[in-house]
Amino acid sequence: MVFEHIERYGDHEQIVFFHEPSVNLKGIIAIHSTTLGPALGGCRMWPYASEKEALVDVLKLSRGMTYKAAAAGLEQGGGKSVIIYDPKNKTPELFKAFGRFINSLNGAYITAEDVGTSVEDMRYIRESTPFVTGLPEKLGGSGDPSPFTAQSTLVGMKAAVAHKLKQNSLKDLKVAIQGMGHVGVYLAKYLLEEGCQLSISDIFEKKVLQFKEKHPQVKIVHHEKIYDEECDVFSPCALGAVINPKTLKRLKCSIIAGAANNQLDTSETEDIIRERSILYAPDFVINAGGVISVFVESKGRYSKEEVQDRISNIYNVLKEIFSISEKDGKNATDVAIDIADKRIKEKC
């Protein structure tokens, strides 16, 4: 069963299962590709219902990181790690032990924060290995990558609006954000600055209420009803697989452009998206801002100017993807993968 999942989700170079009972550490590191450079990808901590669920998640996420890096023009490969644990109970000792497992891979995999982990957690990993990014700024790191992920999502949204709606401004557009975690909050702030009308939702009511308290102009929508919200742009910024045939029937938007990874339940769902004349911005292209930031940090000479320049180029990458998709009648994700694969093959 394990090998069936591995074969289904791509030709991974290495998959490592790790377990340290003394600190309740159990998880998986998946290295999808190191053709363009060391595999870089965040560490996700989540109380997965099963080891199978964790394996499928890390395989899909690591593969996506390869395409994300290649499409963004980064000299790095794709990898990911997952820790099967409730982040509410995490400890410094757990992350120090995780760092030792990373160190045993001799630089083939470099980690960073992701869902369930934080900048401070990276500091504890750093005590056991140098192969970690997203460190606190006081330690010379890039800090929280969330603002950069939100920035690239904003840039990608502008590219989608320019292509689909023929507008160079987001002013007065209606955007529905699903998920008000770190990235969702930053994106919402940026969109308000652009003059957008926002509807926001999250499974945790406290998050949307806290945001509305500071920004009373936003509309709160129950997390089960966000798919029914009339909007120009639907922006998934929570977990993956939220766009599927059932939810797609309910969407009332022209564009899907969000920061979440693996937004589509299956690749076939994008066929339905195109049939409905909805423009989809491939998630691994539009949400590359965070990995761009930690990539620049990993080179040892962090520059916010370089990060911003690379993020700005996502606009051009997506405009090219949309144009080819429209001209050739191909799904945008397939076009993006073709571009990424071409760059990887040229390196081989």
Active-site residue set: 80
143: left (phi over 0), alpha (psi -120 to 50) or beta: left
Reference 59, options 265, 262, 245, 293; nearest CA is: 262
Q: Are 69 and 42 in contact (CB under 8 A)?
A: no
Helix boundaries (H) for 165-244? 182-193, 205-214
Is the CB of residue 201 less than 8 Å from the CB of residue 221? yes
Distance CA 155, CA 120 (A): 28
Rg of the chain taking only CA atoms, in angstroms: 19
Report d(CA 233, CA 161) in Å as an integer: 8
Task: Report how many helices (DSSP H) and strands (DSSP E) the chain contains, helices first.
Answer: 13, 12
Spatial separation of the C-alpha atoms in residues 321 and 71, rounded to whole Å: 10
Query: Distance between CA 44 and CA 343 in Å, rounded?
Result: 27
The answer to whether the CB of 312 falls within 8 A of the CB of 155 is yes
| Residue in this structure with the two tokens 């030792």, named with its chain if needed | 100
